[in-house]
Structure 1
Amino acid sequence: MNSNNQEARILLAIEVIHKDKKLSIRKAAMLYNIPRTTLRHRMEGLPLRTETRANRHKITELEEEVIVQYILDMDLRGFPPKLKNVEDMANDILESRVANMRAKYGILDGDFYNFDETGFMMGIICAAMVVTSAERNGRSKTVQPGNREWATAIICGNGEGETIPPFLVVQGQVHLSNWYTETNLPAEWAIKPTSNGWTNNETGLEWLKHFDKHTKNRRKGKYRMLVLDGHESHESVAFQAYCKENDIICLRLPPHSSHLTQPLDVGCFSNLKRSYGGQIDGFIKAHINHISKIEFFIAFKAAYEESITSQNMKSGFRGTGLIPFNPEAVLSKLDIRIRTPTPPLST
């Protein structure tokens, strides 16, 4: 059975059951020629196996059902929609999602946050940075210190350009006192050692509590909204439960779209990486050839203060069409090509 037709039958069966309370699931399944267990699961609200597709698709399954119903309805009336019509409807759904969520919870600009992660490989500098001897002939090469530890910076700001202290994840087992005594990092900055310098479910929850601590007393309304990507640490049961208990609404952006839809990616991260590269270049020119965590913290602090500004944060929200709300800011950048059928060869 065609999956679209079956989905349409399921939707019709559910609608009829809601209207006629005497109609059993078994009888409705027989009437609409669909598996009884499938219909029962849908009535009970159990997720479909196809819901795992959410990590790969821009629209949710419910939104996809709306489009399927639209296609079937137009076809039934003798007006099968063209691909462009379906694409326009999908874009309309994407456009309305952010606005609907903000309106539903009364989210103000100052309570509308984006947080994102960006990684740093200690010892790596921007490809354009070169260090060479005056006596050396030939083409210069980038100097790259031998340390190859990984660090992750979790950064967060809101639509009014305000930020919360960064949360740094570094490779290690314990905190070392010289991370704080030799770097002049602000006391409210957080450092989390992990086995590989990457985030995980535990780190994600720790960051969420860090976010709550620094935003709950300055919120303008009841709810705060977090715009985030689909990283698994943001979807853990503990993460979602903490959000619900503390009036934090999560809005997940379409996967593989951060370069278009994440304010931090659009307005801040390229500046941050460029500034960090300049700081490391300065160390190398000063003949510091081992970039340890101390040098990383010092370089990151300087780069952060230079690049994560109120102006850049606001620019990110504006560039992604979130504040002010302007979906065309993103949709106009999409490379969408409508394929037309190849005309048949003349004989």
Structure 2
Amino acid sequence: MTQLEEESLRNWIISMGKRGLPPRPSDVQSMANILIAERGESTSPRPVGKNWFADYLKRYPILKTDYIRKYNYKRAKCEDPKLIREWFEKVMEIKAQYGILDEDTYNFDETSFTIGAIATTKVVTTTDCLGKPKHLQSDTRE
């Protein structure tokens, strides 16, 4: 890979990690192969080798592998003050629309389990990531 391709790949890894979706090593290798294939060469490009990923991490000490800590998607969304405010406004609208009194409003809890969530997955993240990297879970629950 060229220096520009490797730097683009590094930026993609960092960007995905900041969004709560750090890529797995296999995802990084797949993206590297996509970048190589997009060069537009007349001959079919060779994919990266089996040791390429380990060598790539050595060239970019800002990157490391770690195991993810699952982070519930709904919980991540709840940290946004704008979304919290909008939710409360929506609740107030519904209460006004249907004439629901404050004394008729109460709290309840619901338990569930996530479908298709795996316990641990190795991902690529930055060395300045404190603790375990967060991974947003899908909203598929039962």
TM-score for both structures, normalised by structure 1:
0.14
**Higher RCO (CA 8 Å, separation ≥ 6 residues):** 2
- Rg larger in 1 or in 2? 1
